Amino acid sequence: MHGILKELTSKINFTNDLKQDITTFLSINRCPKTAQHCVEVGSEARKIAERFNADPAEAEIAGWLHDISAVFPNEQRIAAAKELQIDILPEEEAFPMIIHQKISRVMAQDIFKITNIEILDAVGCHTTLRANSTKLDQVLFVADKIAWDQTGEPPYIQELNRGLELSLTHGAYSYIHYLWQRKESLKVIHSWLREAYEEFRTSFGGDPA
Ligand SMILES: [Fe+2]
Ligand SMILES: [Fe+2]
């Protein structure tokens, strides 16, 4: 295991219960709220997977893992990504919050020994999605937006739910379209989000329903 990750796990006795281990890991590293959010996104991802014929167990695991990099505060994220030999895009350097998806992916592999590429990839693009996204990518992306980590109802929930009535991909596109309409107010536009948006816009022939 990589040195900077070893430090974060030194006080933990891992069991064979992944959900429990992730919760313990986040709580010991002073992120109890993220632990709760990850459990909630896991449950939501399972529901979405059942609704759209994805693998519910994989979806739930991806939800539990998606924000484990919260243990690195924003100001440490670029340094952590460099240590972990992650490719850093200019927009991530400018706005380090969005690199947390890539750090979570490496941590899932290195700390929690996840080898399923579909799960790792979904964790690795849960904030921005990406072009050619898989069903599991879209399940986790949508679940994280429904079970969001802030209080009250998400402002985009109606559009998102309307999209989901048509299909999983419509749901994902509805949320990206919501962001796109407000793109002037976003700190940065991640190139993966732009690529996902352009791909959906082309394949849907315009705006989502
Ligand atoms: Fe996240
Ligand atoms: Fe999240």
How far does residue 43's CA lie from ligand 1's centre (Å)? 15
- Architecture label for domain 3-149: Orthogonal Bundle (1.10)
Q: What is the mean pLDDT of the chain?
A: 96
pLDDT range class, residue 152, cuts 50, 70, 90: very high
Q: What is the pLDDT of residue 207?
A: 87
Q: What is the pLDDT of residue 149?
A: 87
* 209 has a pLDDT exceeding 80: no
| For residues 171-187, average pLDDT | 95
How far does residue 62's CA lie from ligand 1's centre (Å)? 11
Q: What is the distance, to the nearest Å, from the Cα of residue 202 to the centroid of all Cα atoms in its chain?
A: 24
Instruction: Find the ligand nearest to 35 CA.
Output: 2
Domain boundaries, the chain: 3-149
The 3 state secondary structure assigned to 68-117 is HHHHCCHHHHHHHHHHCCCCCCHHHHHCHHHHHHHHHHHHHHHCCCCCCH
Q: Annotate 167-200 with b (16+ C-beta within 10 A) or e (fewer).
A: ebbbbbbbbbbbbbeeeeeeebbbebbbbbbebb
How far does residue 104's CA lie from ligand 1's centre (Å)? 9
- Of the chain, the percentage scoring pLDDT greater than 90 comes to 93
Q: What is the pLDDT of residue 134?
A: 98
Residues with CB under 5 A from ligand 1 (ion): 67
Instruction: Find the ligand nearest to 149 CA.
Output: 2
